[in-house]
Structure 1
Amino acid sequence: MANQTNVKEFIILAFSNIQEYQNFLYAFFLIIYITTLSVNIFLITIIRLGQQLHKPMYFFLGNLSFLELGYISVTVPKIIVDIPRQRKSISFSGCMAQLFFFTFLGATETILLAVMSFDRFLAVCYPLRYTSIMSHRVCFILAAMSWVLGFLTTSFPIIRISQLPFCSANVINHFFCESAPLLKLSCSDPYFKELTVIICASSVILCSLLLTMMSYGYILQTILRIPSAIGKQKAASTCASHLIVVTTFYSTMFAMYIKPTASEGSLNKVMALFYAVFTPLINPFIYSLRNKEVKSALLLLLKKRSL
């Protein structure tokens, strides 16, 4: 604790070890960001304007796309601004704000994906009662609950991190402020400084994953009981896009948040790229390209515009 000091800012190493590719990285992140904004806004617009898409599944999908807009905007614009700079830094308050919003949106997405799996469970297992159960009011409550729970489960651990004593070392070996690299800079006992974050992150991820797995367990049982092959295929197709998104999301999130300090250096950055940058880009393509209703709604809107 002798070297403890009041840290006013953090130095972000980002991708400084590959200086020769800085121009490529700048173009890469700029294209990724513009494309992600465009496809998510485009999908939200189709859902709002397409009357046939005013259903619970697309209501949640609209929430997910809106969430993805914030999720990528928390990190990538700062990366784009910092790449041309020799000294990449962020203030202490700016770092904590970035950490909070990134973690809050990530927790909310985890809960929202579980809610969407519950929606698919009702649609497949109780098709006759689905519309009466998933009313507009219920959909709004479930979506609001996802945001509120994401906020509540995030606030306490982020407050705990912001109150930690930080040593003189203030260099973050990452491309944005995240819990794992920040915890390594703290002077406090490593067991106690990680415990709160691990418990909160694990509870959110594991509870959401458990609900998702239970929902898909019942969905699988229902599909297997359907006598016709066409009926099975139709039931499975309603869940395929969501299942792909869930698999992609959880496969990269587990190692980072169940055990925050598990990944080191370059591996840490590569994994973060997948869930922080590529996931918001890929998700709208998965839902729109594999979805006949979205494509038909788009064609209908284009026909109306051309008349």
Structure 2
Amino acid sequence: MTQRRADITRGLWLGLLGIVVFAVTLPMTRLAVGTPEAPQMSGLFIAMGRALVAAALSAVFLVATRAPWPRRQDVPPLLLTAAGVVLGFPLLTSIAMRHVEAVHASVIVGVLPLATAAVGALLHRQRPSAGFWLCAGLGSALVVAFTMLRSGAPGGGLSIQLADLLLLAAMLCAAVGYGYGARLSQHLRAEHVICWALVMALPLTLPLSLANWPATPLKATAWWGFAYLAVFSMWLGFFAWYRGLALGGTVRVSQVQLVQPFLSMLFAVPLLGERLDAVTAGFGLAVIGVVFIGKKMPVNALPLASLPSRP
């Protein structure tokens, strides 16, 4: 029991480290993609190009660490991991970020913890307590309330744009990729999971990157944003994140993501010159408090007889 608690604590800290890395993703994507008035890289190039650079780093890492080849039964979940976090999430967010500010997009990320917890509960055969789901729901409700306050719609209503829908679809892709990647990390090194997913995506990312290479000179800030996305968001961040999910449990550690929207807002202020006020800070503190309470709630394994067999 003591060792399990130590693993959970370590998993939460590693998960938090991964989330800090991921929190810079939206501001850096905004730098790389530009605005409608001053466009930089295309969303397709950013998504495929960052995966291509990370795949090259992954190939070197796999060889240097003498990584074993994935088992045959690991190939389908690796492909689903790649579809979620290598292709789907980067592509959808890169397209959306040209049309919304990072502060606005950050609040949409607030639905990700609940989506990840749901996927994790199904894949890892866990049964979170009612108190856990209450905290998860409360945290998500706080994020939705914040979105409604800042939507800019008449009367303070919720205004949904195409970019918002793309971001929501990106959250679903990320949840699936996180869930399958975490399950693979139970028997593969967490670093190897993302590396193999990136390498498996090369037949798509390589030709699409070359075909969409920017034809005009770009700002240096766009390239710096792209470099961060490739090395940290697409590669190193997953080393900590998947290891944290494996140690602490996907359902529990996923709730650390509740602080990601507000960390993204904090980073957007110095990087993009966007505005952070007292209301945003207040919602951020409230969400952090919910995370602190939720991590103490029990998460139990379901009896095997009550579950469908794994594919």
Larger C-alpha radius of gyration, 1 or 2?
1
Greater relative contact order (CA < 8 Å, ≥ 6 in sequence): 2
TM-score, normalising length: structure 1: 0.31
